[in-house]
């Protein structure tokens, strides 16, 4: 499949059409993450319009989107950029393109769910900080949380933990 | 007595401790029965669906199917905006997308039809009857307490899922807060994203989101911020000193030392307490600070609250 | 099927768009098959289904109804009726054992001479391929 | 008695245009053999003088009763040959044209097949003409009076032009003064002349013109009839002031104790319950707003009556209905600014006092406005320093507003920026835009000058406006930089979309005029008949047809006036006889034809009849076609269940004959 066809397939899956966007910028104007993104939602649509799939997949925009839907909400043409971003993320991952920090977090998160059936917040933050090499991030809050027992180092797994792990296993296999 | 199948969400067991206590108190007082879905698991927000659409659907589907099996007549309620979004999306996809339903049932190994609704606390508290019940349950009221109601993005958007009419200026929480005598302020960040989803993996990029929310709430004269989601709650609260310090350093033109600014206690004049709406309701319904473990908050709340009772005697009782 | 089979097709064309388009095709000396005979009507909305049935009964190999594009009707709404009517027409034909591919409703404006030529050519070829 | 079928067929060579591509003589021979054909001949150029003479001679010589001419397209020479037949004793509608040039000789290459087709075409024409009947064009009289609906600049211009040509005009305006939107404006782009200074003299001309009857506080209630012969009912609303004696001294307005929000000032000021729309109102006499007047509501007050030196006040005044005979109608109902408050929650939905629309800004900056032309923000009366102008609010937004571009906003946004920078030294203006559209004489230059004045154009649509303490923050993207911008604004001006005026749909429905999906009146042809409608005798002027600026509005008004004058200059007009006709005995009165008619030409009417069998006198409904309204599309004929309604000139039998002829 050519890059162009792949792009069109992503767009179709996301139910977004290049021609729907006339680049008014209302999306990027309201996007809370716009300041940090390389393209922002409008820029991403521009990439799609000029057929530059590579730029989309390699952008940090797709990893920084918080999925808050402010862009779609205000878009005069109802362009669902978050849906496109979701598809772009999957395609990027299929190609092994990743943003290191997001990848570390997401994988740690899912491992935590696999092991406990739930999200072990402390373990997640701790492991993330180790793998992402950000040892001091949020650590100032730890003493308070320990003192007030807001985090429990000894979270017990739920009964159906193995069931959840198998569920994830099956779902992942389905994707392949 | 109204009953709901209840999905507490992972934060309920840890960081959202006081909110969880308040939820129990409020729903107990209102006679609303929240039946915890047995052996529920994490919905996966937001990492699971980022990694895989199927995993993102499968995780929420397990407790939802569980609830459907056990309590086929009950709607599902959750107190966390992230969980709400994931559960709602799964519910909606299974209903409207045949292929999605096929995959979910296949992976789950059991039927799931998404017959019931997924709701959040604001949905179930803003009904006419519930509002009256809240009013009847109030034991004390506030005065001169200006509150900025922060709904968070996922409680209001996307519109076709949440059904919230005015996504830019939602009213449900404001109306609830007003029942207690608190004065909701007109401010600009009710449904702006706080960036909680990326506070770990994109800390540098998302810190300004919460900082802007806090700044706007203060600029619009709010004494406290009210939330309807433990993720927003934690995000707005835990890192306040960091935001404030950073801004002050920037104003003074000094370089910022992250560790230093994190450890130093925040200036009480600069910080703003953050409470969940159920905590505010619980307090107005007579719950004491100790019972709700309000001291678990990162930003002290006791002082602001105890000064804001309409009946000054209440302040002395309120511990 | 005989190789030299020449179908006879009748086309009801509205005076304001398609007939004008056909005139323009003539003016531009465009060439198309001789098989189509045009009946001029004021509006495609004037075409009574009975005309079409009569044509088929008499032995027409194909029938076309051509008018202005929806929204462009000289009489503002006439061709909307045409459109609705001829959706049903196809089913009626099928019910009567007539291949609905022998019936075509097309929108050709007064400036679309080339479209007139192409449509006539295409329909003639199609009906020729369907045989007698 | 059926007419004789003695048909003459004449085949034209058109030089070699026809004769070169098919065998004319074979066609002549074939024609001769056709049933009913008494004579057939050919000639080089039938349309020429000798050609026509040849036909006329043949008619006389052979006693022909019907004529078929095989030549070029009927769209070319049908009229020529009809005129020719007027010189003979044959009715001009007993003529059919077989189009053997555009349909045969020009488009086919096979000589034999083209000939064969030409013969078929002639056969069809002969068959059809055999069923033709003589028709007579009707002449309808024309009432020499025009009605103009709407007293904005479009209506004023149209009325003046028609009146200057010597025809009577009735100008109906629902407000208590003419002037419309234009008099609300301060200055007009691109020349910056004062809007009131150029429009009020025209208003005075209207009131002084001997040919113009001005009806303010009036609304058109009912329109019946057709081109040249409309019957129009106009409701003259009660004004409670006797305008025949009132001098407009203004004492009553000064003393009236009750004030309400002024619509004219767009809610930025108050006006008394007895009021003139604005100081230069025409007529310059006050009316009482019955919804605001306490005397009319509760009976207590009566200050105006006491103060009036001439005793003009009449609390008993009532609405009156006037009936008018009208020959032509100009629709000039204009527009209203979009109600952005219910469209854009992200702009505060009206919560912020200092977010105003363009028309409000016009009042703010207008010397006769509530602030006497000083730009002060509504919330606290402070002069703003930073003003943000947002374009395309409600325009170019299919989800929240309208898909169309409102056309004038780019220019008046530039004008607003210019006025702000002129009146507020040190002020700053940011204009957020998606595209800048300045197609007009002197428009691009005006935009250039605004930029030179110091207006900052930011390409991007404002995403949201929120309050931060005392200021309003306008958040959007500078899409040329690719950076989000947040501007602390003291005043925000939203340049809102134009929408069809309140009630314009009612007016158009009353007239039977079509509107497009957005509610704008539909012109007869977007390019070639831009001021006519599908309804004969009804014309469009100004924004009611679609968003436009003042120059275009005035141009269109004059154009529609020219059309009206052209019509009213005639004493009577001929209508095409090729219209629908009802066979009353066959009509069952089911009414299926009525809603299908795009011209509301068909009505069911009670007709006396006798009951079959008993012979008792009864009344029954029968469809009736109004010859003035019917345009001859024939849509009704298909809807008729009994086949009672038919189209003259294109009767069912005629078309069926054509069809049959092909397979004889």
Q: Do D599 and D478 belong to one domain?
A: no
Whichever domain contains D22, its CATH number is 3.40.50
Mean pLDDT of the region B117-122: 96
* Helices D550-568 + D153-164 axis angle, to 10: 30
Chain centre distance of CA D316 = 37
Per DSSP, the three-state class of D499 is: strand
Instruction: Check whether residue D474 and residue D601 sit in a common domain.
Output: no
Helices (H), B6-97: 17-30, 47-51, 53-70, 81-96
Chain C positions in Cβ-Cβ contact with residue D578 (cut-off 8 Å) = 42
Domains of chain B, start order? 3-121 (1.20.1050.140), 140-317 (3.40.50.11810)
What does the pLDDT read at residue D90?
93
Cross-chain Cβ contact A139/B262 below 8 Å: yes
**Residue range D166-188: average pLDDT?**
97
Prediction ipTM score: 0.84
For residue B45, which phi and psi values (nearest 5 degrees)? -70, 140
Where is D234: in which H helix or E strand? strand D229-236
What's residue D478's pLDDT? 97
- Inspect the structure and tell me whether chains A and C have 3 or more CB pairs less than 8 Å apart: no
Q: Which of B131, B133, B147 is nearest to B182 (CA)?
A: B147
Chains B+D touching (3+ CB pairs under 8 Å):
yes
D11 close to D39: Cβ distance less than 8 angstroms: no
Nearest-by-Cβ selection for B50 from A106, A144, A171:
A106
Do D492 and D589 lie in one domain? The reply is no
Measured in residues, chain A has a length of 176
- Please check whether residue D227 lies inside any domain of the structure: no
Q: Cα distance from A115 to chain B (closest Cα, Å)?
A: 11
Q: Token digits for A149?
A: 């027992």
What residues are paired with D428 via a beta bridge? Answer: D386
Q: For the segment A40-77, what is each residue's pLDDT rounded down to a tens digit?
A: 999 999 999 999 999 999 999 999 999 999 999 999 99
Q: How far apart are CA D445 and CA D433, in angstroms?
A: 18
Strands D145-149 and D168-172: parallel
Contact state of D74 with C77 under an 8 Å Cβ cutoff: no
Do A14 and A86 form a contact (C-beta atoms < 8 A)? yes
In chain C the first and final C-alpha atoms are separated, in Å, by: 8
D107–C50 CB contact, under 8 Å: no
Residues of D with CB under 8 A from a CB of B: 345-346, 348-349, 351, 464, 466-469, 473
Higher pLDDT, A129 or B36: B36
Q: Do D485 and D612 fall within a single domain?
A: no
Q: Could you tell me if residue D469 is inside a domain?
A: yes
CA–CA separation, B59 vs D346, rounded Å? 34
CB D280 within 8 A of CB D338: no
Q: Do D475 and A34 touch (CB under 8 A)?
A: no
Whether C81 and D635 lie within 8 Å, measured CB to CB: yes
Question: Under 8 Å CB-to-CB from C45, ≥6 apart: which residues?
Answer: C67, C73, C75, C77, C78, C79, C81, C82, D633, D634, D635, D638
Chain C interface residues facing chain D, Cβ-Cβ under 8 Å?
A: 6, 8, 10, 15, 19-20, 22-23, 25-27, 29-32, 34, 37-43, 45-51, 54-55, 58-60, 74-78, 81, 85, 117
Question: Does the beta carbon of A32 lie under 8 angstroms from any beta carbon of chain D?
Answer: no
Hey, which chains touch C, using 3+ CB pairs under 8 Å?
A: D
**How large is the average pLDDT for residues D304-325?**
95
For residue D324, tell me if it sits in a domain.
no
Interval B70-83 mean pLDDT: 95
If you average pLDDT over residues C89-103, what whole number do you get? 88
The shortest CB-CB distance from A24 to any of D460, D464, D475 is to D460
Residues D562 and D576: their CA atoms lie apart, in Å, by: 23
* D403: closest CA of chain B, how far (Å): 21
> Is the same domain home to D30 and D125?
yes
Which positions ≥6 away from B287 have C-beta within 8 Å? B22, B25
Phi-psi category of C59—alpha, beta or left, where left has phi over 0 and alpha has psi -120 to 50? left
| pLDDT of the residue at B254 | 65
Q: Verify whether the Cβ–Cβ distance A25 to D477 is below 8 Å.
A: yes
Do residues D142 and D120 lie in contact, with contact meaning Cβ atoms separated by under 8 Å? no
- CATH code where residue D436 lies: 3.50.50.60
**Which chains touch A (3+ CB pairs under 8 A)?**
B, D
Q: Which pLDDT does position C1 carry in this prediction? A: 42
C-alpha C104/C-alpha C13 separation (Å) is 12
Residue ending a domain, choose from D457, D474, D499: D499
Task: Select from D452, D476, D499 the last residue of a domain.
Answer: D499
Instruction: Calculate mean pLDDT across residues D419-445.
Output: 96
The tokens for D143 are 């009432």
Mean of per-residue pLDDT scores for chain B: 90
Query: Tokens 């939107």 — which residue?
Result: D181
For residues D479 and D606, membership in a common domain is answered with no
**Which candidate from C15, C41, C58 shows the least CB-CB separation from D655?**
C41
The reply to whether D461 and D592 lie within a common domain is no
Of all residues in chain B, what percent carry a pLDDT higher than 70?
92
Strand D462-468 relative to strand D471-478, pairing: antiparallel
Average pLDDT over residues D646-658: 94
Convert the pLDDT of each residue in D378-390 to its tens digit.
999 999 999 999 9
Q: Which residue of A has its CA nearest to B48?
A: A110
Judged by CB atoms closer than 8 Å, whether chains meet at B166 and D345 is answered as: yes
Q: Minimal Cα–Cα distance from D271 to chain A, Å?
A: 38
Q: Do A164 and B106 touch (CB under 8 A)?
A: no
Assigned domain for D536 exists:
no
Calculate Rg over the CA atoms of chain D.
Answer: 33
Instruction: Supply angle C-alpha C22, C27, C28, rounded to 5.
Output: 95
**Percentage of chain D exceeding pLDDT 70:** 100
Per-residue pLDDT of D464-479, as tens digits, reads 999 998 899 999 999 9
Total domain count, chain D: 3
Q: How confident is the model at residue D527 (pLDDT cuts 50, 70, 90)?
A: confident
Residue B128: Cβ-neighbour burial (10 angstroms; 0-12, 13-18, 19+): exposed
Looking at residue D631, its pLDDT comes to 86
Sequence-distant (6+) residues with CB within 8 A of B312 are: none
Q: Is the pLDDT of residue C72 over 90?
A: no
Residue D528: pLDDT above 90?
A: no
Q: Among D310, D174, D173, which residue's Cα sits nearest to residue D252?
A: D310
> Please, which residues bridge with residue D457 across strands?
D431
Contact B6, B37 (CB under 8 A): yes
Chains A and D touch (3+ CB pairs under 8 A): yes
Under the banding of pLDDT at 50, 70 and 90, the label for residue A147 is confident
Q: How far apart are CA A13 and CA A7, in angstroms?
A: 10
> CB of B14 within 8 Å of any CB in chain A?
yes
DSSP class per residue in D5-42: --EEEEEE-TTTTTTTTS-HHHHHHHHHTSTTEEEEEE
User: Residue B178: how many CB atoms within 10 A of its CB?
Assistant: 14
When mean pLDDT is compared across D6-10, D43-47, D355-359, D627-631, the lowest value belongs to D627-631
The shortest CB-CB distance from B169 to any of D349, D468, D469 is to D349
Domain holding D639, by residue range, is 580-648
Q: Distance from CA of residue D339 to its chain's centroid? A: 24
Residue D408: its pLDDT value, please? 96
Q: Is the pLDDT of residue D359 over 60?
A: yes
Q: How would you list the strands of the sheet with B33-36, edge to edge?
A: B33-36, B3-7, B76-78, B118-120
Minimal-distance CA residue of chain C relative to D120: C37
Compute the distance between CA of residue D583 and CA of residue D603 in angstroms, rounded to an integer. 14
Q: Are A77 and A26 in contact (CB under 8 A)?
A: no
Q: Hey, what domains does chain C have and what are their CATH numbers? A: 9-125 (3.40.50)
Q: How far is D418 from chain A (nearest CA, A)?
A: 24
The answer to whether the Cβ–Cβ distance between B186 and D467 falls below 8 Å is yes
Average pLDDT rounded to a whole number, residues A90-115: 92
Note the pTM of the prediction, 2 decimals: 0.83
- From the list D401, D463, D482, which residue is nearest A26 (CB)? D463
In a domain, D143, yes or no: no
In a domain, D369, yes or no: yes
- Choose among D102, D647, D656: nearest Cβ to C26: D102
Chain D closest CA to C120's CA: distance in Å?
Answer: 12
Do residues D477 and A42 make contact, with C-beta atoms less than 8 angstroms apart?
Answer: yes
What is the DSSP annotation of chain C? --TT----EEEEEETTTHHHHHHHHHHTT----TTEEEEEES-GGG--HHHHHHHHHHT-SEEEEEEPPTT--TTSSHHHHHHHHHHHHHHHHHHTT--GGGEEEEE--TT-HHHHHHHHHHHHHHHHHH--
Is the minimum CB–CB distance between D632 and chain C shorter than 8 Å?
yes
């Amino acid at each position: 499949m050519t890059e162009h066809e792949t792009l069109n397939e992503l767009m179709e899956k996301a139910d977004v059409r290049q021609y729907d966007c006339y680049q008014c910028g209302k999306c990027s104007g309201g996007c809370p993450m716009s300041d940090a993104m390389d393209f922002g939602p409008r820029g991403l649509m521009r990439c799609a319009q000029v057929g530059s799939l590579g730029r989309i997949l390699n952008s940090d925009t797709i990893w920084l989107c918080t999925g808050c839907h402010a862009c779609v909400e205000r878009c005069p043409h109802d362009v669902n950029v978050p849906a496109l971003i979701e598809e772009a993320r999957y395609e990027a991952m299929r190609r092994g393109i990743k943003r290191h920090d997001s990848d570390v977090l997401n994988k740690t998160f899912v491992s935590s769910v696999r092991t406990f059936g739930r999200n072990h917040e402390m373990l997640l933050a701790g492991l993330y900080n180790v793998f992402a090499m950000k040892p001091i991030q949020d650590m100032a809050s730890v003493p308070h949380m320990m003192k007030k027992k807001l985090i429990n180092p000894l979270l017990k797994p739920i009964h159906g933990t193995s069931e959840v792990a198998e569920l994830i296993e099956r779902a992942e296999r389905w994707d392949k | 007595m109204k009953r709901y199948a209840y999905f507490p969400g992972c934060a309920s067991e840890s960081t959202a401790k006081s909110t969880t206590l308040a939820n129990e108190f409020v729903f107990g007082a209102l006679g609303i029965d929240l039946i915890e879905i047995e052996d529920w698991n994490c919905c996966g927000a937001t990492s699971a669906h980022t990694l895989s659409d199927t995993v993102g659907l499968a995780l929420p589907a397990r407790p939802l199917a569980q609830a459907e099996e056990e309590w086929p007549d009950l709607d599902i309620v959750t107190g966390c905006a992230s969980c709400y979004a994931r559960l709602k999306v799964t519910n909606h996809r299974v209903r409207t997308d045949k292929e999605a339903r096929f995959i979910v049932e296949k992976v789950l190994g059991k039927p799931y039809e998404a017959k019931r609704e997924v709701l959040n606390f604001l949905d179930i508290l803003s009904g006419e009857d519930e509002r009256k019940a809240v009013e009847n349950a109030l034991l004390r009221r506030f005065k001169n307490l200006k509150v900025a109601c922060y709904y968070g993005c996922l409680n209001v958007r996307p519109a076709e899922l949440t059904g919230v009419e005015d996504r830019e200026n939602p009213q449900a929480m404001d109306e609830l807060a007003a029942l207690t005598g608190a004065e909701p302020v007109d401010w600009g960040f009710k449904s702006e994203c706080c960036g909680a989803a990326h506070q770990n993996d994109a800390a540098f990029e998302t810190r300004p989101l919460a900082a802007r929310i806090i700044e706007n709430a203060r600029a619009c004269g709010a004494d406290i911020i009210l939330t309807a989601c433990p993720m927003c709650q934690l995000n707005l609260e835990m890192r306040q000193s960091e935001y404030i310090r950073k801004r002050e350093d920037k104003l003074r033109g000094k370089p910022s030392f992250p560790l230093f600014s994190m450890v130093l206690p925040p200036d009480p004049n600069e910080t703003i307490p953050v409470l969940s709406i159920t905590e505010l309701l619980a307090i107005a319904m007579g719950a004491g600070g100790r019972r709700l473990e309000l001291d678990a908050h990162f930003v002290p709340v006791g002082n602001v609250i105890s000064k804001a009772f309409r009946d000054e005697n209440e302040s002395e009782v309120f511990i | 099927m005989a190789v030299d089979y020449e179908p006879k097709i009748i086309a009801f064309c509205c005076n304001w768009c398609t007939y004008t388009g056909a005139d323009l095709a003539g003016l531009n000396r465009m060439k198309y098959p001789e098989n189509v005979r045009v009946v001029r009507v004021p509006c495609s909305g004037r075409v009574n289904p009975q005309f079409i049935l009569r044509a088929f009964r008499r032995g027409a190999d194909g029938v076309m109804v051509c008018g202005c594009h929806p929204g462009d009707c000289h009489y503002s709404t006439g061709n909307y009726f045409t459109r609705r009517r001829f959706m049903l027409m196809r089913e009626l034909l099928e019910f009567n054992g007539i291949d609905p591919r022998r019936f075509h409703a097309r929108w050709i404006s007064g400036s679309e001479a080339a479209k007139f030529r192409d449509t006539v050519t295409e329909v003639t070829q199609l009906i020729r391929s369907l045989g007698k | 008695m059926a007419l004789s079928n003695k048909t003459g067929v004449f085949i034209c060579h058109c030089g070699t245009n026809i004769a070169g591509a098919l065998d004319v003589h074979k066609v002549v021979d074939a024609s001769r053999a056709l049933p009913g054909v008494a004579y057939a001949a050919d000639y080089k150029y039938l349309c020429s003088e000798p050609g026509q003479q040849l036909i006329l001679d043949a008619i006389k010589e052979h006693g022909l009763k019907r004529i078929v001419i095989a030549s070029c397209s009927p769209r070319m020479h049908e009229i020529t040959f009809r005129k020719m037949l007027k010189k003979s004793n044959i009715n001009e509608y007993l003529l059919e044209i077989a189009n053997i040039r555009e349909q045969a000789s020009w488009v086919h290459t096979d000589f034999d097949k083209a000939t064969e087709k030409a013969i078929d075409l002639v056969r069809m024409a002969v068959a059809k003409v055999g069923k033709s009947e003589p028709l007579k064009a009707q002449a309808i009289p024309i009432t020499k009076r025009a009605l103009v609906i709407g007293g904005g600049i479009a209506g004023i211009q149209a009325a003046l032009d028609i009146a200057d040509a010597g025809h009577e005009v009735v100008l109906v305006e629902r407000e208590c003064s003419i002037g419309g939107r234009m008099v609300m404006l301060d200055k007009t782009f691109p020349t910056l002349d004062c809007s009131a200074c150029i429009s009020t003299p025209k208003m005075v001309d209207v009131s002084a013109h001997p040919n113009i009857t001005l009806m303010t506080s009036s609304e058109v209630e009912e329109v019946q009839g057709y081109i040249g012969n409309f019957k129009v009912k106009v409701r003259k609303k009660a004004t409670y002031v006797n305008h025949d004696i009132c001098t407009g001294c203004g004492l009553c307005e000064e003393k009236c104790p009750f004030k309400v929000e002024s619509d004219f000032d767009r809610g930025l000021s108050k006006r008394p319950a007895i009021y003139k729309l604005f100081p230069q109102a025409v007529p310059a006499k006050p009316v009482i707003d019955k919804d605001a007047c306490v005397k009319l509501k509760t009976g207590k007050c009566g200050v105006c009556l006491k103060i009036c030196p001439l005793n003009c006040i009449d609390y008993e005044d009532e609405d009156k209905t006037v009936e008018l005979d009208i020959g032509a109608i100009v629709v000039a109902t204009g527009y209203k600014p979009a109600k952005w408050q219910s469209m854009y929650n992200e702009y505060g939905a009206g919560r912020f006092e200092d977010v105003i629309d363009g028309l409000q800004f016009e009042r703010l900056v207008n010397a006769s406005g509530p602030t006497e032309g000083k730009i002060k923000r509504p919330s606290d009366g402070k002069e703003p320093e930073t003003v943000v102008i947002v374009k395309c609010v409600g325009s170019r937004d299919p989800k929240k507003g309208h898909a169309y571009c409102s056309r004038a906003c780019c220019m008046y946004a530039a004008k607003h920026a210019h006025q702000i920078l002129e009146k507020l030294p040190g002020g700053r203006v940011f204009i957020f835009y998606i595209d800048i559209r300045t197609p007009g004489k002197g428009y691009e230059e005006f935009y250039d000058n605004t930029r030179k004045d110091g207006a900052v154009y930011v390409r991007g649509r404002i995403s949201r406006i929120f309050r931060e303490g005392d200021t309003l923050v306008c958040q959007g993207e500078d899409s040329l930089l690719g950076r989000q911008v947040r501007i602390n604004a003291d005043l925000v001006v939203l340049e809102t979309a134009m929408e069809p005026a309140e009630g314009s749909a009612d007016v158009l429905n009353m007239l039977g005029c079509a509107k497009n999906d957005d509610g704008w009146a539909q012109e007869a042809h977007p390019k070639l008949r831009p001021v006519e409608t599908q309804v004969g005798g009804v014309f469009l002027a100004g924004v009611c047809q679609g968003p436009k600026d003042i120059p275009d509005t005035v141009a269109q008004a004059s154009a529609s006036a020219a059309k009206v004058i052209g019509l009213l200059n005639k004493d009577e007009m001929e209508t095409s006889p090729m219209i629908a006709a009802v066979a009353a005995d066959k009509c069952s009165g089911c009414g299926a034809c009525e809603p299908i008619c795009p011209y509301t030409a068909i009505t069911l009417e009670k007709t006396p009849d006798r009951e079959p069998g008993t012979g008792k006198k009864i009344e029954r409904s029968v469809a009736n076609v109004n010859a003035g309204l019917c345009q001859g599309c024939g849509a009704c004929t298909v809807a008729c269940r009994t086949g009672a309604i038919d189209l003259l000139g294109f009767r069912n039998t005629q078309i069926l004959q054509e069809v049959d002829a092909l397979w004889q």
